[in-house]
Amino acid sequence: METPNEDIGKKNQDSDIANPKSALSVNPGVADAPAISPYIRDQRKTLNRKEISVEELATGILSGNRTHLSKAITLVESNLEAHNDKAQAILELVMPKVGNSIRMGITGVPGVGKSTFIESFGSYLLEQNHKLAVLAIDPSSQRTKGSILGDKTRMEILSKSENAFIRPSPSSGSLGGVARKTRESMYLCEAAGFDTIIIETVGVGQSETQVHSMVDFFLLLMLAGAGDELQGIKRGIMEMADLIAINKADGPNEPFAMRARVEYESALHLFPAPESKWTPRATTCSGIGGKGIEEIWKLVLDYISTTKSNGYYVKNRENQTRMWFEETLREAVLEQFFMRPGKKEAILESETKLMSGQSTLLKEIKRLMD
């Protein structure tokens, strides 16, 4: 039951609404905006209404449809056999349009500023009217095994550009921090018209040969003052680098970066000459300030021109395809070995014999292979 004061207040409020001339009048409210854009909701309904065929996805990719490109990459990354068959059918249709891009691999220790550098470097490429695709290999979630999407959220400018495509993919424990299906994703991006492909890895280590075996140009980002300028712990990765860039060369850190550049460049001369006939360089850059970005791109173009003129460019891509074929074949044979009927029980039996000392390692391996 309303009190007299509440009843009077309610009448005054009704009077204020009815009399807009009053200074105490209350305008009627408006309905809240929908949480999801009606356009996106209708588009989602259209896409979910029917399954898109292989031919439609391939046609969409060749015409630059980013939605179809994303769906195709999802099929490529799937572990379901039906999805893999569909993905391979799409790749077969778009392969004639593959191979017309500059493929770059960018790696570096965690915290070196890879994402910030790619944001600045990619923005420069967009200003030069290039179309850029970034395949960022994210650390995998231990719970869902999926990507944590960290790189995409850090590349805000590129994420908003129509001429840039960013695809975070979970590493899923793959060697060297490169997703197992990164190469197929790269082919799809090339077919969609992206003329520059950047593959960003999780980190750096001796197993970084994976990204090196699928790109034309390999860029290693380093930090000044990390304490390992002349140590041998990164010799394996430095031997593969076509260019070493000392990042964060700005502010009070700039003189240290310049000194590190000289030390790295001196160390590069101690390595054997690469087959590409290209002399690896060391330079400085700043992902935040954009310093050195233009110089790095000029060095990339110089490298591509040099290797194309001496024939290494084509030879390297042929070797990479051959290596990819051999690795994939090895994985398929290994998978078939473990899927054979009774193999799991046989392996457990061999393990039991080894642990109890009843047999030797090579004897059990031979028995399993036979």
**Domains of the chain, with CATH numbers?**
52-96 (1.20.5.170), 98-312 (3.40.50.300), 322-369 (no CATH)
Q: Do residues 350 and 360 lie in contact, with contact meaning Cβ atoms separated by under 8 Å?
A: no
* CA distance linking residue 281 with residue 284, whole number of Å: 10
For 156, list phi and psi in degrees, rounded to 5: -65, -40
Q: Do residues 309 and 317 lie in contact, with contact meaning Cβ atoms separated by under 8 Å?
A: no
* CA distance linking residue 190 with residue 55, whole number of Å: 17
Place of tokens 């980002």: 221
User: Looking at residue 20, what is its pLDDT?
Assistant: 52
Closest CA relative to residue 367, chosen from 357, 353, 356, 355: 353
The size of the chain, in residues, is 370
* CA distance linking residue 76 with residue 94, whole number of Å: 14
Separation in Å, CA 241 to CA 258, 274, 304, 349: 19, 10, 14, 46
User: Looking at residue 157, what is its pLDDT?
Assistant: 83
Place of tokens 């967009």: 126
* CA distance linking residue 157 with residue 263, whole number of Å: 34
Place of tokens 């890879």: 114
Closest CA relative to residue 135, chosen from 196, 219, 223: 196
User: Looking at residue 177, what is its pLDDT?
Assistant: 38
For 243, list phi and psi in degrees, rounded to 5: -155, 135
User: Looking at residue 176, what is its pLDDT?
Assistant: 39
* CA distance linking residue 34 with residue 39, whole number of Å: 11
Note down pLDDT in tens along the chain; length 370 residues: 455 555 545 555 555 444 555 556 666 666 676 666 776 676 666 555 567 899 999 999 999 999 999 999 999 988 888 898 999 999 999 999 999 999 999 988 878 888 899 999 999 999 999 999 999 876 555 454 555 555 556 688 888 888 999 988 765 544 433 556 889 999 999 999 999 999 988 765 544 667 888 999 999 998 887 655 444 446 677 888 999 999 999 889 899 999 989 988 888 888 888 899 999 999 999 988 889 999 999 999 999 999 999 999 999 999 999 988 998 898 888 888 888 888 888 899 999 989 999 889 999 899 888 8
* SS3 labels along the chain: CCCHHHHHHHHHHHHHHHCCCCCCCCCCCCCCCCCCCHHHHHHHHHHHHCCCCHHHHHHHHHCCCHHHHHHHHHHHHCCCHHHHHHHHHHHHHHHHHCCCCEEEEEEECCCCCHHHHHHHHHHHHHHCCCCEEEEEEECECCCCCCECCHHHHHCHHHHHCCCEEEEEEECCCCHHHCCCCHHHHHHHHHHCCCCEEEEECCCCCCCCHHHHCCCCEEEEEECCCCCCCCCHHHHHHHHHCCEEEECCCCHHHHHHHHHHHHHHHHHHCCCCCCCCCCCCEEEECCCCCCCCHHHHHHHHHHHHHHHHHCCHHHHHHHHHHHHHHHHHHHHHHHHHHHHCCCHHHHHHHHHHHHHHCCCCHHHHHHHHHC
